[in-house]
């Protein structure tokens, strides 16, 4: 199993107890693959609690801070895709860098962004 990168829709689905997300999450953990959550994704999904299911999910994730290089690459990705969604672009940049699959509620946007930079990725829908 490859690494997973969660988008905001995946975090919201986890908080809604979506079994698809929890199954993917538990399968990843079973083979010592800790899913990645970019900090802009966390900021978009977190509302200050209580969010007990999301908190449980996050305990077993790698929270990846948005550094300058990733931010610049996400901006370039937006330009190339003619998109303004820097959060989704950040997910794509990190997924491409890690050779990861994306867990997302918005496959079309993820496909469009990854295609724009010439790196199609696997998107697991939720």
Confidence of residue 68 (pLDDT cuts 50, 70, 90): very high
Q: What is the mean pLDDT of residues 67-79?
A: 98
103-121 pLDDT tens trace: 999 999 999 999 999 999 9
DSSP code string of the chain: ---EEE-HHHHHHHHTT-HHHHHHHHHHHHTT-PPEEEHHHHHHH--SS--HHHHHHHTTSEEE---HHHHHHHHHHHHHHT---HHHHHHHHHHHHHT-EEEES-HHHHHHHHHHTT----EEE-
Structure tokens at 92: 């794509």
pLDDT > 70 fraction of the chain, expressed in percent and rounded: 99
Q: What domains can be seen in the chain, in order of their start residue?
A: 4-125 (3.40.50.1010)
67-95 mean pLDDT: 98
Can you tell me the distance from the alpha carbon of 89 to that of 91, in angstroms, rounded to the nearest whole number? 5
- CA 103/CA 110 separation, integer angstroms: 10
pLDDT in tens, 4-59: 999 999 999 999 999 999 999 999 999 999 999 999 999 999 998 899 999 999 99
Q: According to the model, what pLDDT value does residue 52 have?
A: 97
pLDDT at 2: 85
pLDDT at 23: 98
What is the pLDDT at residue 124?
Answer: 97
**pLDDT score, position 28:** 98
Residues 6+ away with beta carbon under 8 Å from 93: 70, 73, 74, 77
CA dihedral defined by 112, 117, 121, 123, rounded to 10 degrees? Answer: -30
Amino acid 91: pLDDT: 98
């Amino acid at each position: 199993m490859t690494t997973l990168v969660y988008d905001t829709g995946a975090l919201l689905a986890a908080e809604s107890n979506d079994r698809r997300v929890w199954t993917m999450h538990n399968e990843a953990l079973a083979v010592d693959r800790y899913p990645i959550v970019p900090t802009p994704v966390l900021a978009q999904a977190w509302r200050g609690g209580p969010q007990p299911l999301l908190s449980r999910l996050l305990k077993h994730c790698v929270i990846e801070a948005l550094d300058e290089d990733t931010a610049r690459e996400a901006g370039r990705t937006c330009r190339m895709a003619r998109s303004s969604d820097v959060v989704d672009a950040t997910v794509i940049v990190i997924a491409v860098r890690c050779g990861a699959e994306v867990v997302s509620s918005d496959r079309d946007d993820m496909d469009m962004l990854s295609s724009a930079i010439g790196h199609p990725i696997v998107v697991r829908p939720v």
